[in-house]
Amino acid sequence: MDKKEAIKNYKQTIQPMGIYQIKNNRNGKLFIGSAKNLSGKLNSHRFQLKNGLHPIKDMQKEFNEVGEEGFSFEILDYLKPKDDLKRDYTEELKLLEDMWMEKLQPFNEKGYNKPTIR
């Protein structure tokens, strides 16, 4: 298999998608998110935190104080893909994320997420 074919195969492969959490193990605060590419999204969060670039300032501040060993990055739930490669999973991911937000309530003193009004 040549490089072009390998890239094409990768693009046609649905990456694991679902719900993740970033947890401050020292104080228990959580950030809950969803992603169509879980490993890519978690890697992005790690990179931003390690380099002082994360947009959630409270989480960045606490990460700077306790270091990477004080945080855990976990997958909470997977969304199983259908056979259709062109299907958009945005709404399904949002519903699954809303369920986890309701269950864990990662707001205010319990987390880094901002409460949403619906």
The encoded tokens of residue 53 equal 């670039």
For the entire predicted model, the pTM comes to 0.86
CATH of the domain at 38: 3.40.1440.10
pLDDT tens-digit series, residues 12-71? 677 899 999 999 999 999 999 999 999 999 999 999 999 999 999 999 999 999 999 999
44 occurs within a structural domain? yes
Question: Collapsing DSSP states into helix, strand and coil, what is residue 116?
Answer: coil
When pLDDT is cut at 50, 70 and 90, the band that residue 84 belongs to is confident
What is the maximum span of the chain, computed from C-alpha positions, in angstroms? 52
Alpha-carbon span 34 to 109, nearest angstrom? 21
Is 3 a residue whose pLDDT tops 90?
A: no
Q: Give dist(CA 75, CA 118) in Å, integer.
A: 25
78, pLDDT greater than 90: yes
Looking at the domain assignment, is residue 8 inside a domain? no
pLDDT value at residue 14: 76
Q: What is the pLDDT of residue 86?
A: 81
Asked if the structure places residue 71 within a domain, the reply is: yes
**Tokens 């309701």 sit at which residue?**
102
Domain count for the chain, please give it.
Answer: 1
Residue 28 lies in a domain: yes
d(CA 90, CA 97): 10
Asked if 48 and 11 count as a contact pair (C-beta separation under 8 A), the reply is no
Note whether residue 76 is domain-resident: yes
Residues 6+ away with beta carbon under 8 Å from 22: 30, 31, 33, 42, 45, 59, 71, 72, 73, 74, 112
- The answer on pLDDT for 118 being more than 60 is no
**5 located within any domain:** no
Q: Would residue 116 count as lying in a domain?
A: no
Query: What's the rounded Cα separation, in Å, for the pair 30 and 20?
Result: 10
83: in domain: yes
The residue range of the domain holding 67 is 15-105
